[in-house]
Amino acid sequence: SFALLDGSGDNWSDLGPAPILPRMTFTRDGERVERPEGFSSPLFVDELLSALSARETQQPFFGVLSFQAVHWPHHAPPDVLAKYAHTYDVGWDVIRDARHARMQALGLVDPDVPRRPRDPRVPAWSALSAETKLRESARMAAYAAMTEDMDREIGRVLRALESDGELENTV
């Protein structure tokens, strides 16, 4: 096993989320270890793939891949983050409308089903200051980039399982 015992923190180091938790705790097979270098998603996948390759052939396994990604704080590798730099500048209201329309066009949502109203605790995008819009757009971009990076890493796991002939024998 390779585990992050704390709930959140830096995705590139063991820096914790707050002064009360200045360093995160990582363990390997129950023993505390120094956090290896690199961004969190490839790190967790590297650990899983290493454990899978170390097992005996045809030996059943149980694996849980619990990413640190998409939890606070929102960090992403610069190359992926750059792809989303201005994607969310139009704001969450426009994006919600476009996503709902796309789901209807794809047949995922019945054309007669109206889009849910915005959560009343969330202000209209047009009501935000320019500074807040910039911050929220960057936050949404980071979340999307983290999700894409995590998806890329899940692809690595699927390819490894397929290469080992285990993909169709895995839930």
Omega before residue 78 within 30° of 0, cis? no
82 Cβ contact list (under 8 Å, min separation 6): none
Q: What is the layout of strands, in order, in the sheet containing 2-4?
A: 2-4, 26-28, 31-33
Estimate the crossing angle of helix 130-163 against helix 40-54, to 10 degrees.
10
Q: For the whole model, what pTM was predicted? A: 0.84
Q: Cα–Cα distance between 21 and 7 in angstroms, integer? A: 10
Exposure on the CB side of residue 107, measured as CA atoms within 13 A:
0
Say what the alpha-carbon torsion angle 68, 72, 73, 78 is, to the nearest 10 degrees: 60
The tens digit of pLDDT for each residue in 137-168 reads 999 999 999 999 999 999 999 999 999 888 88
pLDDT category of residue 12 using cuts at 50, 70 and 90? confident
Is the pLDDT confidence value at 7 over 80? no
pLDDT at 17: 81
> Cα dist. 152→93, 159, 166 in Å?
28, 11, 19
Segment 93-120 mean pLDDT: 94
pLDDT category of residue 68 using cuts at 50, 70 and 90? confident
pLDDT at 100: 96
Termini Cα distance of the chain: 19
What value does the mean pLDDT of the chain take?
Answer: 91
86: number of Cβ within 10 Å: 9
Tell me 39's DSSP state. -
pLDDT at 1: 87
